[in-house]
Amino acid sequence: MLSEFDLIAKYFTKPVRNASLGIGDDCALLTPVPGTQLAISTDMLVSGTHFFADTDPRQLGHKSLAVNLSDLAAMGAEPVAFTLALSLPKPDEAWLKSFSEGMFSLANICHCELIGGDTTKGPLNICITVFGRIPLGQALRRDRAEYGDDIWVSGTIGDARLALAHCRNEITLDKQDFNAVSPRLHMPIPRIMLGMALRKNANSALDISDGLLGDLTHILDASGVGATLNTDSLPISPVLARQTEDWRMLCALTGGDDYELCFTAPPSKRSRVLEASARTGVPVTRIGFIENEPGLRLRNSHGEPVTFSRHSFDHFLAGSK
- The residue among 118 and 293 lying less far from Mg ion, judged by its C-beta, is 118
Residue 54 CB, shortest distance to ligand ADP, in Å, is 21
Distance, in Å, from the CA atom of 68 to the CA atom of 110, rounded to the nearest integer, reads 12
Q: Is 8 in the site for ligand ADP (CB under 6 A)?
A: yes
Distance, in Å, from the CA atom of 128 to the CA atom of 45, rounded to the nearest integer, reads 9
Neighbouring-strand partners of residue 133: 38, 78
Question: What 3-state DSSP class applies to 253?
Answer: helix
Residue type at position 141: R
- The residue among 91 and 135 lying less far from ligand ADP, judged by its C-beta, is 91
Q: Is 114 in the site for ligand ADP (CB under 6 A)?
A: yes
Among 6, 93, 118, 232, binds ligand ADP (CB under 6 A): 118
Distance, in Å, from the CA atom of 100 to the CA atom of 138, rounded to the nearest integer, reads 33
Residue 68 CB, shortest distance to ligand ADP, in Å, is 14
Q: State the DSSP string of 229-249.
A: EEGGG----HHHHTS-HHHHH
288: enclosing H helix or E strand: strand 284-291
- In the region spanning residues 29 to 88, those forming contacts with ligand ADP, defined by CB under 6 A, are 84, 86
Q: Is 267 in the site for ligand ADP (CB under 6 A)?
A: no
Q: Is 275 in the site for Mg ion (CB under 5 A)?
A: no
Among 23, 140, 181, 208, binds ligand ADP (CB under 6 A): 23
Q: State the DSSP string of 89-104.
A: SS--HHHHHHHHHHHH
Q: Is 25 in the site for ligand ADP (CB under 6 A)?
A: yes
Residues 22-33: b if buried by 16+ CB within 10 A, e if exposed: bbeeeebebeee
190: enclosing H helix or E strand: none
Residue 27 CB, shortest distance to ligand ADP, in Å, is 7
- The residue among 60 and 84 lying less far from ligand ADP, judged by its C-beta, is 84
Q: Which of 202, 195, 209 is nearest to 134 (CA)?
A: 195
| From Mg ion, ligand ADP, none, interface partner of 198 (C-beta below 5 to 8 A by class) | none
Total residues contacting ligand ADP (rule CB under 6 A)? 13
Q: Is 118 in the site for Mg ion (CB under 5 A)?
A: yes
Question: What 3-state DSSP class applies to 203?
Answer: coil
Total residues contacting Mg ion (rule CB under 5 A)? 1
| Positions in the binding site for ligand ADP (CB under 6 A) | 8, 12, 23-26, 84, 86, 114, 116-119
**Contacts to Mg ion by CB under 5 A:** 118
